[in-house]
A and B are shown apart, each in its own frame.
Chain A
Amino acid sequence: MRTRSASLAALVAAGVVLSPATALAAPTPTPSPGSTTVTKAGTSFLSATPIAAGQPVRVGASTGEYLYWSFTAGAGEIHEIDASVSPAEDRTGSSTWTVEVFDGLRRRQACTAGAQTPTADASVRSVALGCTLRRVRPWAEPWSVDPLPGTYYVRLAVVEVPERDLGLPIDVELRISATGDAGTAPEDGRLETPLVPPTNAGEVLEAVPTLAPAAEDDGWNLDLTGWLPEAGSRWIWTTAGGVLAAVAGVFGFALTRRPRVRTAVR
């Protein structure tokens, strides 16, 4: 490489966005599956590019970059992430790639299937990555790391690569598919607020906020809910089963009786 020329020069271009109006207009509308291809990727959790299930992503990047996307998951769904990376052809060694998934609290999510960290030789044209997530539950203990409805983050990066291959161009394709939109029973609980992280700048408080005393109402409704059974399909099914059982019982009983009607006709 003839890089050591006698004279060197450089440019620093400083690009900055200061107008909040344009930035606020930025949030991507949720597109329908199979619609426009996303050609962007974020570079951190906060700047992750939102994508929808079924929406194709095709983006050019550099080896060594960390690419972030985010998607929204609902209870009962299973998400499958399929990605392929086409590394630069003039690379010198083998590289290991990884696709990692984090939930709205940035907790690592397990993959139940898929090649999460494949290694590509220097000659391979493209590397396929995959990750199938667990079924999203409608509710979980605060202490568990079960997948819950809310935002999920996908991070794609190279984890092992010869240093001289860093910075070379790559092409990344990614698609997220959602299956099993099973309705969940109310008995399974419900997450009051989905795991969607706040994005506003924080504020340091001066003192612990005081609470207004609880309103002095007697709460008739609250008391009644303890006594009355909760309306649910189980009550209807059980009652219907009881009725059917009784009908079948009467019918069986009638079968063993002398057929009085015919005798009467004669």
Chain B
Amino acid sequence: MRAKDIDGRSRISVAQQAFGEVVDALPDETQLGIRVLGATYQGKDKQQGCLDTQQIVPVGPVNREQAKAAVATLRPTGFTPVGLALREAAKDLGSGTTARRIVLITDGEDTCAPPDPCQVARELAAQGTTLVIDTLGLAPDEKVRRQLLCIAAATGGTYTAATSAEDLTGRLKQLVDRARDTYATTPSKVDGADACQGAPLLAPGVYTDRETFSEHRWYRVPVRPDQELRASVSMAMDRPVNPDYGVLLRATATDGRELVRGVDAGSGRTDVVSAGLRWSAGADEDADEPDEETSPSPSASATPAVTTVCLVVSNMFSPRAGTEKDPGMPVELTVDVVAASPTPDGPDLGRGWVLLLLLTLAGLLTGLVTGLLTRWWVATWREN
């Protein structure tokens, strides 16, 4: 960070200035914490240097003066334990229910692996709470870029190369804004089963799960006869995979009969691959005799049966050589059950006997009225 290659100033001073500006512009309700790495240990011992990370501002409402003062005194030293710092930062944020974001600003690659920071990021993202890591590289070289790209991709975050103070400030403000706007409700975690029998029953809402290569995950959704099932699934590519991929979402009856499927495939760079489907019970009523498992009470034949639809998510990703299989790739599942939209009737006029009857009646009535009117008119004229 001592290198003077950003607008002729040292990286640390640019970072400090940008940080000061961002803290000044921070909205009051934002909760912020700051953790540094490689900022205190001056020695040469790698083992000790790689433990060098401290939380200098605890997570909470911002105390602007304190935060700026804490950042202003930082002096760069030798080691960069990125992986350890990420772990600790995730701990700092605690385990709430809302989404959280970490912004990692660095100018050098991790010098302390293991743990590999990219693997750490993947583990943190898999821990249930939504954690996004955005990375900012200060005048990054190739190694830094690779590492930060990997960390960002593993958590669905972004990577930015900052080559000027202006860039850094603007981007930092944008990232903090995003942390503020990030959706309030975090999807709830669910564990899909490997068969429909015993799969988790889902109410409408958003869920997350993890699915590894060539794995199938099953879920169940109860649907009433007058309802329509809507489901969509997104699988994120959080690790390098082969260029062609796809995702398949199928809805099946409990006996395995396929009802409908949604599929999407692609190739090349992408963040998520998504597919969705709609299915309504009414259309399948005749064929779908409720079985014992799904009907609410076997004795009451008058009660409409709830159909249990099985949803199965499968993927067509293939790992590259050396790609980790575990934890699986993030799956975001959206389930909704709404009122069914009945098939519209065709136009009920325009052909057939009813049309002819209507026209005949209209003609007859018009003829009668005209005739009567004429007779009345002739009669009055004669009298006068």
Give A contacts to B, CB under 8 Å.
1-20, 22-24, 26, 40, 42-47, 49, 60, 62, 64-66, 90, 102-103, 105-108, 139, 141-143, 157-161, 163-164, 166-169, 186-193, 195, 197-214, 229-230, 232, 234-235, 238-239, 241-243, 245-247, 249-250
Contact = CB atoms under 8 A, between A and B. Distances in A.
Given A9-B37, A10-B80, A200-B205, A3 B145 contact: no
B160 A15 contact: no
B363 A242 contact: yes
Contacts of A3: 3, 5, 107-108, 139-141, 144
8 contacts: A12-B103, A15-B179, A26-B180, A64-B149, A198-B205, A202-B335, A208-B294, A245-B362
B49 to A, nearest CB: 11
Contacts of B358: 235, 238-239, 242
Contacts of B113: none
Contact of B29 (A22, A47, A161, A241): A22
B319 to A, nearest CB: 20
B334 interface: yes
Contacts of B350: 234
Contacts of B332: 45-46
B359 A105 contact: no
Interface string B147-169: 01100000011111101000100
A64 B159 contact: yes
Interface string B9-39: 0001001000100000000011111111111
B366 A157 contact: no
Contact of B5 (A2, A141, A202): A2
A209 B101 CA distance: 37
B104 A10 contact: yes
Contact of B30 (A15, A45, A107): A15
A234 to B, nearest CB: 4
B355 to A, nearest CB: 7
Interface in B328-363: 332-336, 338-350, 355, 358-363
Nearest to A153: B274
B195 interface: no
A238 B349 contact: yes
B182 interface: yes
A148 to B, nearest CB: 9
Nearest to A68: B271
A245 B367 CA distance: 10
A266 B225 CA distance: 79
B268 interface: yes
Given A17-B30, A43-B158, A199-B185, A246 B367 contact: yes
Contact of A12 (B78, B85, B231): B85
A106 B30 contact: no
Contacts of B146: 163
A12 B184 contact: no
Interface residues of B, number: 158
Given A11-B71, A211-B303, A107 B34 contact: no
B366 to A, nearest CB: 3
A23 B184 contact: yes
A209 B223 CA distance: 9
Contacts of B202: 202-205
A209 B358 CA distance: 49
Interface stretch (B92-100, B210-218, B310-318): B92-100
Contact of B366 (A66, A164, A246): A246
Contacts of A249: 363, 367
Contacts of B187: 46, 201-202
A24 to B, nearest CB: 6
Contacts of B304: 211, 214
B303 A19 contact: no
Nearest to B350: A234
A89 to B, nearest CB: 11
B252 interface: no
B3 A19 contact: no
B65 interface: no
Given A11-B19, A105-B230, A157-B270, A201 B205 contact: yes
A60 B173 CA distance: 11
A188 to B, nearest CB: 6
Contacts of A157: 269-271
B31 A246 contact: no
B59 A213 contact: no
Given A9-B75, A160-B269, 9 more contacts: A12-B34, A14-B59, A14-B101, A46-B187, A62-B161, A167-B161, A199-B206, A207-B201, A211-B224
A43 B158 CA distance: 9
Contacts of A159: 268-270
Contacts of A212: 303
B248 interface: no
A199 B334 CA distance: 8
Contacts of A210: 296-297, 303, 306
B82 interface: yes
A200 B141 contact: no
Contacts of B344: 139, 186-190
B203 interface: yes
A66 to B, nearest CB: 4
B370 interface: yes
Contacts of A9: 1, 12, 36-39, 74-77, 80, 107-108
Given A105-B278, A187-B347, A208-B222, A14 B185 contact: no
B362 A16 contact: no
B186 interface: yes
Nearest to A168: B161
A242 B71 contact: no
Nearest to B74: A9
Nearest to A264: B381
